[in-house]
Amino acid sequence: MRMFLRMLVFTFFCVCAPGSLSAAEKEPGQWEIDMEHSTVGFRIRHIVGYVPGVFSRFSGQVEYDPVRPENSQFYLLIDSSSVHTGVPARDEHLRSPDFLDVERSPKMIFSSRKVLREDGGSLVVVGDLTIRDVTAEVLVSLQILGIADHPFADKMPGVRVLGLHASFSINRLDFHVGSEEWTRMGIMGETIDLTIDMELLQR
């Protein structure tokens, strides 16, 4: 009986230990964004509620190392004109010089500089965010949701899928987005919450 219990405990730790990744999951490499299953979203306070929106066009490069995530790199390029809140007139205003000024600043750019590990398996990505004419350091909370073989093995043979969720907040005034007067009037908040949900493919 004692021998059985020892074997049971040994098996449990081999299967459930945080470092017990399969050989495939341990391989570092480049990943491409699956655009059909990825979203860049935001929300901002409006009077007493929130207005959500998305940027529908973006691209990027991701190098992720499951064993040494601090060696990972993230680069994201967002088309500013693709802002979408569901209200065409509001979207046009957001594209204007009052906000994103897409004619002069057609792209928003995030480029990582380092990746830090946190307790609980989460990561913090330190990088430079460029919006309009401002580039500033931001801290992005990143959760790696998992790595799996693509379930449609007949159509996607040998393809692996990486899932991640990122979130962070910025002060819009730091990036010259909108007027401070709108905050004083109680129309719009200064904090923009951004979320990035992505599935990435490695072929």
19-73 tens-digit pLDDT = 444 545 556 789 999 999 999 999 999 999 999 999 999 999 999 998 999 999 9
User: Residue 2 burial by CB count (10 A; 0-12/13-18/19+): exposed, middle or buried?
Assistant: exposed
Q: Which domain holds residue 127?
A: 22-202
Non-local CB neighbours of 141 within 8 Å, separated by 6+ positions = 122, 123, 124, 166, 167, 168
Contact 149, 163 (CB under 8 A): no
Question: In this structure, is residue 102 part of a structural domain?
Answer: yes
Given this model, what pLDDT does residue 9 score? 35
Q: Give residue 59's Cα distance to chain centre.
A: 12
Strand pairing class (123-131; 49-55): unpaired
Strand ranges in 34-72 using DSSP code E only, listed in sequence order: 39-46, 49-55, 58-64
Report the CATH number at residue 69. 2.40.128.110
Determine the Cα–Cα distance for residues 171 and 176; give it in Å rounded to an integer.
Answer: 9
| 5 located within any domain | no
Nearest to 147 by CA among 21, 17, 34: 21
Question: What is the per-residue pLDDT for 5?
Answer: 33
Which SS3 state, helix, strand or coil, does residue 162 take?
strand
Q: Is residue 7 part of a domain?
A: no
Q: Is residue 60 part of a domain?
A: yes
> Does some domain include residue 40?
yes
Full-model pTM: 0.83
- Does residue 123 form part of some domain? yes
| CA separation for the pair 136, 150 (Å, rounded) | 37
Give the closest residue to 80 by CA, choosing from 64, 60, 96, 63: 96
Q: Is the pLDDT of residue 11 over 80?
A: no
Provide the β-strand partners of residue 130. Answer: 109, 135
Task: Output Rg (C-alpha) for the chain, integer angstroms.
Answer: 21
Q: Is residue 85 part of a domain?
A: yes
Whether residue 97 lies inside any domain: the answer is: yes
Mind listing the pLDDT tens digit for each residue in 166-180?
999 999 999 999 999
Residue 109 · residue 81 · CB < 8 Å: no
- Count of domains forming the chain: 1
- What's the CA gap between 33 and 144, in Å, rounded? 14
